[in-house]
Structure 1
Amino acid sequence: MFNAAADPAPSDVVLASVRQPGDAACSNIHIRDGRIVAISAAGPARNGDVVHLEGRHVIPGLWDEHVHMTQWALTASRMDLSAARSAREAAAAVRARIAGTEAGAATECAGTLVGVGFRDAVWVDQPTLEMLDDATQGLPAALISHDLHCVWLNSAAGERYGVRLDASGLLKEEAAFDLTRELGQLPEDIVDAKVLAAAKDAAARGIVGIVDFEMSWNRDPWLRRIAGGFRSFRVDAGIYAQDLGRARVLGLRTGQDVPGGEGLLKVGPLKVLIDGSLNTRTAFCVSPYPDGGRGLLTVSEAELLALLAEAKQGGLVPAVHAIGDAANRVALDAFAAAGIRGRIEHAQFVREEDFARFGQLGVTASVQPAHALDDRDAAEANWSGRTTRAFALRSLLDAGATLALGSDAPVAQLDPWTAMSAATTRAGADGRGPWHPEQAITRAEALTASARGRTRIKIGDPADIVVLDGDPLAVPDAVFASMPVAATLVAGRFRHTDPALSRAE
């Protein structure tokens, strides 16, 4: 009898009576040793374990191309400040949390209250050190913005972590990243348990792989997790510029299988951050923000070119973080000068003359469609009159760019259907109409950009498959946004099975 929880997978599995999107007729998909070896007309199947899927739809497995996995896993146990509409409202929420919680229960990191998700770009007032000190009354508090580029601290946290604070209490960019990493220094077993729980949730949404850009040396934590039994999905472990020398000494090349990774772990891209973010108003832009600044170029053009040249020599695919339109110009110039293909992470704001360069240079736009909805107010406030070229997925595709969709979790939730819904409707659950609907892409395009260019399941592919309860090309928008996933397979192994499917079998 078929057992969806069995591991390792039997050498032969048949997914019987399934349909690919748009198909009227059903077929059987034959899997052997983790790969698809045949697709036959639907009918009785006698070899191997047969899983009767009763006409359900199957698609290639989905990837989230940009995740900070540890930060995402920790978010579930941190205080959510995403609903705060002002600094005072955020401070009041912190005050209420402390007052209403038993001593110590509100804290996560050695007695520090950690909050996440605030959006000060759309607040009517400004965060201050005095405001947070008054709300916390001596309990160390560190509030991380939704984009991870800013942390609001009180005096007690500044003293605990040895950082100097000005009257705002804000740390930005590298100082914020350093503190966020420190706040994540929990015991390995606790972090790994949280990662496993978050990964199971992701597998239940059809995720078969992620590109992990956690701001650390990623290879070793994933080897530890896999050694401990992690099997939920594949991981491409990103490398940051500060670890480039270490990677070169070890001979790491993007796409290389990592020994000990059980076929699930590969070397990911080389991540280079060259500007900040929209929420923190540090994204490097051609025109000034309302406050007169233009953001930050955190890596010089010469330094970036040198990094790309070294990446090319070492076989690493560059993934350059660029949000502002000036930063995207700098990144594209560097790709052209280095003669290397790669990725631009985010590509949120692009000059009209630069859209076509993505396709011409073979640079993938690794984009996070949910950000367009989360940041529409911040974009209108800070890029006023220019938002026709913000989060411009249609313009990128029409200009020949390749899209790769992701979440940037914890900036947005690790759910590919949320991302694809945002990309195709340009509208969220808040009841507001579509924002720049001319920049929407089709569902077929969104599915392709979420499955590494795979449009259909084919013979010879890895058996990374998602089983759905409806046709993703035909269901209503509301269903598509929260698409029911009956099962997720990675290399032919079931990593998620809906209880209803298990009962049916």
Structure 2
Amino acid sequence: MSSLLVRNARIVPVRAADRGTDRAPDAPVDVLVEHGRVTAVGPRLSAPTTAYDEHREVDAAGRWVAPGLWDQHVHLAQWTLTSARLDLTGARSPEQATALVAERVREYPELPVIGWGHRSAGWDREVTVSELDAVTGDTPVVLISGDAHHAWLNTTALLHLALPVRDSVVREAEWFRAYARLSSLIGDDGTSPEAYRRTLDHAAALGIVGLVDYEFSGGAAEWAERWSHGCDLLRLRMSTYAEGLDDVIAMGLRTGDPLPGCDDRATMGPLKIISDGSLNTRTAWCCEPYGDAHRLEYPAGQPNLSGEELRELLARAHAHGLEVATHAIGDAACAEALEAYAVTGARGSIEHAQMVNRADVRRMAELGIRASVQPAHLLDDRDLTEKIWGERSARCFAYRWMLDDGVELALGSDAPVSPLDPWLAMAAAVHRSADEREAWHGEQALTPQEVLAASVDGQPTVGAGSRGDLVLLDRDPLAHSDSPAAAADLLRTMPVAATYVAGREVHSAL
């Protein structure tokens, strides 16, 4: 057992109500954590008299203390692998992408090429396997799109991953199934416990205390193995997909239960369902056709599951004590998902909720369904959204509607689609611009206090009874700013002094 006493810290008020009768103290105070919980907050607290295996005292020297941050949507293995991948985020055409691939093949001819980050929706034509074959020879090449919903493979890679040979990209469900076989091509070195630990250390340095992992492969047994080899740093919620649902049910795991072989910081999360596609691939399911519908097989996108299939999955998960996280990017997909929640009584979230109708936002609130959203996506999707969704962009990333209508917001990154960086996500929701342009639909912007509240897993202002998951900051994240742009810059550059999980130090720059 351990305890932590943080002295001389300024409490950050997480919600506006905290500035009223329950406002945070104006002067620095001490914060005592015992048995993983805050047990006291006040000036000049005494050290605990109970004997602990470890007691740590830290002088915050007037720094600001807030609940630790969460990323509510991460593909942890993919993010861990990203640092070793060929970066294609700057490729503005198929020709630029193939040139980068050719250079990598020349440099490392014996190694497979795994690329990440290209956004082909902005290119002026479709790509082919043939043009990739022309510059890669027998070297296996897999180029994963920036939204992770399709991959451009050469013929060697298609054969290696047991995919039918074709001259087009591999999309959606077919790609998700194939991704689980990628380790057969590249090995597991990039997702070893040591590699995961480096990722978790990086997250802790950003003030993150918990992650919700939506990785396509893996399971409880793999997490127990990682946990025993040094990956027991942060809190973790492990999701499952439909393919793993039988195993989860057979193990008797319900949402919130500790994972076998782990302690109570690693728990079972939700069933994840991908109900539609993405903006980049024009497969997000919409109520109206895309602006370039003449190019598409499905002019308004399409669902991945029928309404009956979706309801059956929700009902089965709900019957076995599992929450459900339903990926829904298009407005039609969001409406269908909410109907499934209403019919089955299932609980959980809409993941992304990228384009919504106002009536569906209100229904989300009535049903008590969370909006698990990734604000940094709006920075990448702004121009493409205007091009292919047009005036519907006013209903995209509609966070002000959500908060005003009483929807619970939970912020995340969808790493590696966006960087695993909660400060970037918060800044994007506050300013809604990544460049010199004005805020994109600034009427949907949030305040720094609102985005902080949506980033701490529902925790209140640090006080007696709250989790002992804390972040010490060198600046006040709620300091007055002259503009949303200035407030966003303050968040985006926030220095983290220390991070604690259940009172245990997991990062320190003090």
Would you say same fold, with TM above 0.5?
yes
**What is the SS of the residue equivalent to 1:466?**
strand
- Supply the distance in 2 between the matched residues of 1:153 and 1:11 (Cα, whole angstroms): 51
CA offsets per residue over residues 196-253 of structure 1, 9 Å max, x none?
Answer: 1111101100110011010124212211111112222111000111222221111110
Alpha-carbon offset, residue 470 of structure 1: 0.7
Alpha-carbon offset, residue 379 of structure 1: 1.1
- Supply the distance in 1 between the matched residues of 2:355 and 2:279 (Cα, whole angstroms): 10
State the match for 1:463 in structure 2: 468
* 1:198 to 2:202 alignment: no
Which has the larger displacement, 355-364 or 336-345? Answer: 336-345
CA offsets per residue over residues 13-45 of structure 1, 9 Å max, x none?
Answer: 210000112653010001112221111214775
* TM-score normalized by the length of structure 1: 0.92
Alpha-carbon offset, residue 63 of structure 1: 0.7
State the match for 1:98 in structure 2: 105
**What is the SS of the residue equivalent to 1:55?**
coil
CA offsets per residue over residues 408-465 of structure 1, 9 Å max, x none?
Answer: 101011110011111111122x433321111111111111111112231121222100
- Seen in structure 2, the aligned counterparts of structure 1 residues 465 and 154 have a Cα distance that, compared at 3 Å, is same
Which has the larger displacement, 404-413 or 43-52? Answer: 43-52
What amino acid is aligned across from residue 66 of structure 1 in structure 2? Answer: H
What amino acid is aligned across from residue 103 of structure 1 in structure 2? Answer: P
Q: How does 1:394-473 map to 2 (within 5 A)?
A: 394-428=400-434, 430-473=435-478
State the match for 1:126 in structure 2: 126
What amino acid is aligned across from residue 333 of structure 2 in structure 1? Answer: A
* 1:88 to 2:95 alignment: yes
State the match for 2:26 in structure 1: 24
Which has the larger displacement, 228-237 or 42-51? Answer: 42-51
- Seen in structure 2, the aligned counterparts of structure 1 residues 159 and 307 have a Cα distance that, compared at 3 Å, is closer
* TM-score normalized by the length of structure 2: 0.91
State the match for 1:481 in structure 2: 492
**What is the SS of the residue equivalent to 1:375?**
helix
What amino acid is aligned across from residue 464 of structure 2 in structure 1? Answer: I
Return the match for 2:504 from 463, 471, 493: 493
* 1:221 to 2:222 alignment: yes
Which has the larger displacement, 452-461 or 44-53? Answer: 44-53
- Supply the distance in 2 between the matched residues of 1:411 and 1:63 (Cα, whole angstroms): 17
**What is the SS of the residue equivalent to 1:54?**
coil
CA offsets per residue over residues 65-84 of structure 1, 9 Å max, x none?
Answer: 01100000001100010111
State the match for 1:248 in structure 2: 249
CA offsets per residue over residues 440-495 of structure 1, 9 Å max, x none?
Answer: 11111111111112231121222100000011001743231121000000011100
- Supply the distance in 2 between the matched residues of 1:189 and 1:84 (Cα, whole angstroms): 27
Percent of counterpart pairs with the same letter? 43
Alpha-carbon offset, residue 262 of structure 1: 2.2
Alpha-carbon offset, residue 190 of structure 1: 4.6
- Supply the distance in 1 between the matched residues of 2:143 and 2:508 (Cα, whole angstroms): 36
- Seen in structure 2, the aligned counterparts of structure 1 residues 98 and 432 have a Cα distance that, compared at 3 Å, is farther
**What is the SS of the residue equivalent to 1:386?**
helix
CA offsets per residue over residues 311-339 of structure 1, 9 Å max, x none?
Answer: 22111001111111110010011111112
- Supply the distance in 2 between the matched residues of 1:269 and 1:102 (Cα, whole angstroms): 40
What amino acid is aligned across from residue 119 of structure 1 in structure 2? Answer: R
Alpha-carbon offset, residue 398 of structure 1: 1.3
Asked if the contact 2:220/2:260 (under 8 Å) is kept, the reply is no
- Supply the distance in 2 between the matched residues of 1:72 and 1:408 (Cα, whole angstroms): 9
What amino acid is aligned across from residue 161 of structure 1 in structure 2? Answer: L
- Supply the distance in 2 between the matched residues of 1:375 and 1:102 (Cα, whole angstroms): 33
- Supply the distance in 1 between the matched residues of 2:268 and 2:455 (Cα, whole angstroms): 19
State the match for 1:175 in structure 2: 174
Q: How does 1:127-166 map to 2 (within 5 A)?
A: 127-166=127-166
Asked if the contact 1:392/1:439 (under 8 Å) is kept, the reply is yes
Which has the larger displacement, 171-180 or 181-190? Answer: 181-190
- Supply the distance in 1 between the matched residues of 2:83 and 2:62 (Cα, whole angstroms): 36
- Supply the distance in 1 between the matched residues of 2:471 and 2:121 (Cα, whole angstroms): 38
Asked if the contact 2:9/2:28 (under 8 Å) is kept, the reply is yes
**What is the SS of the residue equivalent to 2:390?**
coil
- Supply the distance in 1 between the matched residues of 2:136 and 2:189 (Cα, whole angstroms): 30
State the match for 1:5 in structure 2: none
Q: CA RMSD in A?
A: 1.7
Q: How does 1:10-89 map to 2 (within 5 A)?
A: 11-21=2-12, 23-42=25-44, 48-89=55-96
- Seen in structure 2, the aligned counterparts of structure 1 residues 431 and 98 have a Cα distance that, compared at 3 Å, is farther
Aligned positions, number: 481
* 1:355 to 2:361 alignment: yes
**What is the SS of the residue equivalent to 1:424?**
helix
CA offsets per residue over residues 355-385 of structure 1, 9 Å max, x none?
Answer: 1011001110000000011111221122111
- Supply the distance in 2 between the matched residues of 1:460 and 1:199 (Cα, whole angstroms): 26
What amino acid is aligned across from residue 104 of structure 2 in structure 1? Answer: R
- Seen in structure 2, the aligned counterparts of structure 1 residues 197 and 151 have a Cα distance that, compared at 3 Å, is same
What amino acid is aligned across from residue 212 of structure 1 in structure 2? Answer: D
- Supply the distance in 2 between the matched residues of 1:455 and 1:232 (Cα, whole angstroms): 22
Asked if the contact 2:412/2:422 (under 8 Å) is kept, the reply is yes
What amino acid is aligned across from residue 13 of structure 1 in structure 2? Answer: L
Asked if the contact 1:231/1:495 (under 8 Å) is kept, the reply is no
State the match for 1:233 in structure 2: 234
- Seen in structure 2, the aligned counterparts of structure 1 residues 396 and 145 have a Cα distance that, compared at 3 Å, is same
State the match for 2:113 in structure 1: 113
Which has the larger displacement, 468-477 or 63-72? Answer: 468-477
- Supply the distance in 2 between the matched residues of 1:215 and 1:60 (Cα, whole angstroms): 29
**What is the SS of the residue equivalent to 1:378?**
helix
Asked if the contact 2:234/2:265 (under 8 Å) is kept, the reply is yes
Alpha-carbon offset, residue 132 of structure 1: 1.2
What amino acid is aligned across from residue 56 of structure 2 in structure 1? Answer: D
